Amino acid sequence: MMTESADVMPALISNTRLRDSLSKSLSLSTYHCSYPKFISMATLDFTVSHKGHSYPISLLPDTTFDLLQAKLEELTSVPPSNQKLLYKGKKAVVNGEDTISHAGLKSGLKVQLLGSTAQELGELRQVESELQRRERVLRERASKPQPKLLNQIPQLRSTGSGTTSSLQFRFHRTEPLPHLPNPSGARAVLEKLANDPAVKHIMHEHQYSVGLLTELAPHEHPELLGLNVGAGQAIKLRLRTNLYDGFRPYRDIRRVLCHELAHNVWTGHDNNFKELNSQLNREVAEFERAAADGTRHLSDFVRHAYQPSSEQEAEAHMHVLGGVSSTSSMDSSPEERRRRILEATTSRLKREEEELESSCGTSGPSATHDKH
């Protein structure tokens, strides 16, 4: 028995050494095969900015776009469904399974993230729900018989808008785009337009009702200044500058709004549309002149201070937008200067109107003109 054990021990030792040697060889072989692959997978390092904060990102090129969006959600709390990435001046349009390398992301790139957090969206929904509740209550009140109020409406129409018509002929909702910067500033501009005394005046006079007044994003519609959807279901206006560093002049935005209100009746830019558009602008100018002269007092607008345009500007609107040409001779020097101012302003307004038509998203054959 002692002899047999002595013979077996050298064989076991030999087999163990062989196994260890093969294991080391395989490990070295695996290491040398995978080393070049490790070298080729260098990370992409870029920066994502969102609402004034910068986030450095470092990912492998074959990382999917879904994983990038999940990481951005962890950093910014913006859900992937609300994320819009801008880089190289364009919005990323890719599938979730595409790699970030295929999407055009590179090291050193600066990416802008647009989007609202889930908390911000929740707050907006709460505000919208509250507004809808108030509108529902107002509609229910307006639908109830009110004999005394209805009997007073003919008297009110001579000095201001009736309560019932004010609820009907107006912008029923104002809503900025939540994924753009400074939505509260955009909401303030939309509310100012909706409550503009001159705008409310033409809305009442022409019995216009618009479901939603909202904005257009410059990077999504760079060629448009305004759009009327469904003959008044919604009106969209370009409020912001191209660089998102502020808002366009208020009077320019309001002129586009008058243009789009005319599309409630006419969809094309034919003579019928131009005549109505001119009429709306002329009525706005006349309203401002009357407000400046103190000859018009509207009960609904007492609490709204209004800045009128200059007398020359208003008269020029009446000339170019109303299609009236001045034929009187101007002998005196002040009258001659006045004529030149009107001609220059008229020419400028014509050019602006042509630019509005070229940047209006509402087009097509003229709609049937429904008499109000």
How big is the chain by its Cα radius of gyration, in Å? Answer: 34
Residues in the chain: 372
Task: Tell me the pLDDT tens digit for each residue of 282-335.
Answer: 998 888 888 877 654 444 443 343 444 444 444 454 444 433 334 444 445 777
Q: What is the mean pLDDT of residues 208-228?
A: 89
Proportion of the chain above pLDDT 70, given as a percent: 64
CA separation for the pair 199, 170 (Å, rounded)? 9
Q: What is the largest CA-CA distance in the chain?
A: 143
pTM: 0.43
Phi, psi for residue 65 in degrees, rounded to 5: -65, -30
Q: Check if the beta carbon of residue 116 is closer than 8 Å to that of residue 127.
A: no
pLDDT value at residue 126: 84
More confident residue, 236 or 33: 236
Measured at the alpha carbon of residue 185, what is the angle toward residues 69 and 354, in degrees to the nearest 5? 100
Task: Tell me the pLDDT tens digit for each residue of 125-137.
Answer: 888 888 888 888 8
Task: Tell me the pLDDT tens digit for each residue of 167-217.
Answer: 788 999 999 999 999 999 999 999 999 999 999 999 999 999 999 999 998
